[in-house]
Homo-oligomer: A and B are copies of this chain.
Amino acid sequence: MVKDTGRKEERPRAYLYAPKKRAGKRNAQGHTYMPKNMGRKEEIMAESMLGLKRSHRCTEVTKDNVGSEVTVMGWVQKSRNKGGIIFVDLRDRSGILQIIFEESNCGAESFAKAEKLRSEFVIAVAGEVESRAGGVNENLATGEIEVRAKSLRILSESETPPFPIEENSKTKEELRLKYRYLDLRRPDIQRNIRVRSQVATLTRAFLAEEGFLEIETPTLIKSTPEGARDYLVPSRVHPGSFYALPQSPQLYKQLLMCSGYDRYFQLARCYRDEDLRADRQPEFTQIDMELSFVDVEDVLEVNERLLKKLFKEICNLDIELPLTRMTWREAMDRFGSDKPDMRFGMELKNVSQVVKDTEFAVFKSALENGGSVRGINAEGQGAMPRKKIDALVEYAKGFGAKGLAYLAVNEDGTYKCSFAKFMTEEELHTLAEAMGAKPGDLLLFAADRDKVVFDVLGNLRLELARQLDLLKKDHFKFLWVTEFPLLEYSEEQGRFTAMHHPFTMPMDEDWALIDRDPGAVRAKAYDIVLNGTELGGGSVRIHQSDIQSKMFEVLGFTKEQAKDQFGFLLDAFKYGVPPHAGLAYGLDRVVMLMVGADSIRDVIAFPKVKDASCLMTEAPAQVDTKQLVELGIEISDEKE
């Protein structure tokens, strides 16, 4: 039953890997393949593939194969001896298949080997497909059949794994990551990795179809201090000089537009030496694209169709196009966030006008200092215990609030209110009405500078949604956030910095404000947001050198600094640059949301942990002094 390729005869030269004496053997009878005199110890059981050929993956064996012989290979998921019959659940990438060993079928030698099988042994089994004697197992794709073994080879033994190979393991993440090669065997992680592969394949196929060329850009590049911290790579040929690993292919993709490639994409590895969070890794993959001769609309349109395709194929989800769009201003006003989670309401309301004449000092002083008073309505939460409200107040303080004012509408229409003594009943009533409160609702208010108010209420809104279990993982709400501010003022640096990056095009109608009120200029920048996570973002780029020069001036670059950092891009722009725009997605985040993973680490084959180390390989590690000498660098003596 073991298949031969049947092609040797056609070959110009005989090329048989099998030793001649075995070449004619066409069964999988499990002899160890090496004569004893070849120096291998007898107790070693690992046998070779010699002469074997897999005919099916486990779940490729179906009812249609009943009566025929198959050769399957994989890992022993479990094995049990029940009255002289050995039942083995064989696992491969496709799933599980039941094998049965009876001595009368497989012979004494194979049966003896089958008796030794333990979890995670790797075996090859040849046998006949039968309908299940013991009745259908509804939980298995192959639940209607089983394979009656005729022969067995043990291809590899296994020690007892440090944790069981099963779905939704409760094993601690440290242990899982130390033995990542075992963790990667678990069905849920295998599904994640498979989805990731599918997303990449579908994305590439879609973009190729749309006229995008995949072009690789270098990863040993020049360091540009703007942005996050670079990973550096010392140069051996040029001692004292360094490459940087790219934070994104930004400049290269713009150069490719200058070079006339029209539509570029790349699944690009990017690097940022930042402190890690749950959704960050030192290296990550970006679906990166750039288009020439386009404006905002064109970029959004093609990307909406890409998202529609991906979520249809992977999640069987029908996204309605066009996706909802919202300006940055509106997103902040309604949700207190530039990446609002649209799976639930609980929108912010600005009640500054309503409370402006009340005597409550907290509200008053916020308004006098140019801030605002805004609230959210946690519907039906009017009976929330004081202790829980206090916890929310503490949570809000974590985002800069000095406090949190609340007003609960009791079922009888009376109020329980933290600032009742500073307002008349009438004022409270007007306020509750402005917030659309009904009996049983809980209103929470923040009063401060806008930035703080948004931050506090935006996060409070999310926290309440978590507590009320409003964030369903299988509920997908997309949103374009547009018209971001071009600049944001950095108190730390005492100057404006680019919100997106220094090449972002201002909105045509706002450019006149660049000198008078730079903070008011909006940009042709856009983010794609899914369930409160920024999946990606991009912008139209500046293609006119006078606007670019002005941008650098506003950002506080001297001409020399601009030339030093971006000289080759500015030079390139002297020779005819097309209008262009682009967008980049975080692939890891896209996959994480698709599969409902809690951590980005669950969708990366070999992730790093918070201190940027790999628990499996123990990288980073010390290296030979010889290597450092060649690179012309030394490790600094620690001073403290």
Contact = CB atoms under 8 A, between A and B. Distances in A.
Nearest to A8: B297
B293 A507 contact: no
B33 A220 contact: no
Interface stretch (A104-112, A168-176, A320-328, A416-424): A320-328
A524 to B, nearest CB: 7
A216 interface: yes
A459 B635 CA distance: 46
Interface in A74-102: 74-76, 91-93
Contacts of A391: none
A243 interface: yes
Q: Which of A181, A233, A258 has the most CB of B within 10 A?
A: A181
A518 interface: no
Given A155-B578, A508-B34, A636 B633 contact: yes
B181 A627 contact: no
Contact of A511 (B34, B196, B611): B34
A31 interface: no
A282 B218 CA distance: 10
A205 B197 CA distance: 12
Given A156-B578, A256-B605, A236 B273 contact: yes
Interface residues of A, number: 169
Nearest to A326: B13
Given A40-B546, A260-B93, A508-B19, A241 B208 contact: no
15 contacts: A13-B325, A39-B514, A40-B544, A75-B576, A93-B261, A122-B577, A155-B578, A159-B575, A196-B215, A201-B214, A217-B605, A218-B283, A222-B618, A222-B619, A233-B620
A76 B122 CA distance: 64
A545 interface: yes
A504 interface: no
Contact of A578 (B122, B297, B326): B122
A261 B624 CA distance: 34
A239 B635 contact: yes
A314 to B, nearest CB: 14
Interface string A606-640: 10100111101111111110011111111110100
